[in-house]
Amino acid sequence: MSPLIGNPYVIGDTTGNFKKLDDISSYTLTFNPSSDVSTTNDTITSIEHRFITGQRVTYTHGGGTAIGGLTSGTAYFIVNNGADTIKLASSYANALIATTIDLTSTGSGSSHTINLAFDGTNTKFKATYSNGTRARITTAAQLTISINGVLQQPYDTATPTNGYGIEHPGIIVFSVAPTSSDIFWGNIIANNFPTYDITDNKVDNFTGNGSQTEFTLSRTVPNNESLLVTIDGVTQYPSDGTTTRAYTIFDSILTFSAAPASGAVIQARHIGFAGAVTSAVTGFNGRTGNVGLRTGDPLVGVGIQSGGTTIGTGVTQINFIGTGNTFAVIGDRVDISISGGGGSSSAGTRINYPGGGQSPFILSLAHVTQSVTIDSTLTGETIPANIVIGESTLVIDTGVGVTIGSDNTVIPDLYDVFG
């Protein structure tokens, strides 16, 4: 069976979906402090590590001598310092405010360890598979998780009251901290994958200042290989699972291993494919390729209404003539108010009797902006064409004339006429 959950065939099959999660009940990082510890920055390097700020871990020197500032067999708390480095704090509270331990020496030995486990304290764990590949999940239903053979209920919240929830990016949050005796297994039902459209080929531009190493990208990047980075036109190599190189990506943060020089021109090109993966649109109005609207194209779903009655469809341009017109955009509707005149030589709208017969009267707009002549030729009828003023004041713009033809009348009633 091919699931094809929202993806093309190759990706939607098993490339990123239906994966067994790494065992998060116990994970041990083994590192060599002589190469992986910076006493200058108080950091421990682990490429694309699995740690989260606030996690309780246990450090051991692995048979050597302890790193200066740490004690073997002691519990510490993680401070996430980026995709590839961590720091340690003496308490959970200190970890949250990034008050970290000063690492004064690298100690000795090449097999120091930091162990993260179900210990009755930790509730948050990074979801990974295939020995550290970060799971790309945004909803709890993308995972199936069991504790002691009992399926846990998923909740789309970072503070679940039962079962587990999800905290972005891809962090499992248990409602109750699992203990060392709990047995865990989990599966990824479906990963999130980007849709590579033309908009994915975007370039972010930055300028180095000699000290800044982190730059915020315009969008979340799937992995280090999904970005082409250059400094002053020279291509930079991304770090991988075993080697630290020029840069790493964590969510939407581009982090350089060394700060670009002051004034350096940095370009980060998001790599995608020019075309939609679903291939849902293959042509438009008989045209293929990168199609844009042009004169004559029908506007599907667009209509013109007056008083609730459709008076036009498939219109590509509306031209309003005259002054004083107003427009208001309300949601997906545009309300248009015509002040008067409209540029037409017509005096107004024929008034009908209740039975449907035509009266000899025409209803005028209350503001005349263009000269008009009131006679029978306006309506093409032989009966007299008269005008009734529709407001308490009929305004006639300066220089505009209203001519009353022979045998025709204007009925102002009790209204005032201004010119």
Mark whether 166 and 218 lie in a shared domain: no
Residue 403 to residue 411: CA distance in whole angstroms: 14
In a domain, 204, yes or no: yes
**Closest by Cα among 67, 190, 74, 210 to 138:** 190
Mapped onto helix, strand or coil, the DSSP state of residue 13 is helix
In a domain, 294, yes or no: no
Mark whether 330 and 365 lie in a shared domain: no
Residue 63 to residue 45: CA distance in whole angstroms: 20
Mark whether 111 and 180 lie in a shared domain: yes
Last residue of a domain, one of 337, 356, 380: 337
Mark whether 361 and 233 lie in a shared domain: no
Residue 380 to residue 234: CA distance in whole angstroms: 77
Mark whether 147 and 177 lie in a shared domain: yes
In a domain, 47, yes or no: yes
- Find the largest Cα–Cα distance for the chain: 117
Last residue of a domain, one of 188, 211, 230: 188
Tens-digit pLDDT string for the chain (419 aa): 334 444 444 444 455 577 899 999 999 999 999 999 999 999 999 988 999 999 999 999 999 999 999 999 999 999 998 888 999 999 999 999 999 999 999 999 999 999 999 999 999 999 999 888 888 888 888 899 999 999 999 998 999 999 999 987 789 999 999 999 999 999 988 776 545 444 556 788 899 999 899 998 887 777 777 888 999 988 898 887 678 888 888 778 888 989 999 999 999 888 754 344 445 555 555 555 445 555 555 555 556 665 555 555 555 556 665 555 566 666 656 666 665 444 443 445 555 555 656 655 555 545 555 555 555 444 444 444 445 444 445 555 566 565 655 555 555 543 444 44
In a domain, 288, yes or no: no
Mark whether 352 and 234 lie in a shared domain: no
Mark whether 229 and 124 lie in a shared domain: no
Q: Note whether 46 and 84 are within 8 A (CB).
A: yes
Q: What is the pLDDT of residue 286?
A: 54
Last residue of a domain, one of 167, 188, 209: 188
Count of domains for the chain = 4
CB-based contacts of 198: which residues, under 8 Å, 6+ apart?
Answer: 272, 274, 275, 290
Pairing of the two strands 367-368 and 393-396:
parallel
In a domain, 38, yes or no: yes
Mark whether 254 and 326 lie in a shared domain: no
In a domain, 312, yes or no: yes
Q: What is the pLDDT of residue 196?
A: 46
Q: What is the pLDDT of residue 402?
A: 59
> What does the block give as tokens for 45?
């390097």
In a domain, 278, yes or no: no
Residues of the domain holding 324: 303-337
pTM of this structure: 0.49
Mark whether 246 and 366 lie in a shared domain: no
Give CA separation, 365 vs 184, 248, 311, 324, 376, in Å: 78, 68, 20, 13, 18
Alpha-helical regions (H) of 2-86: 9-10, 33-36
Mark whether 231 and 164 lie in a shared domain: no
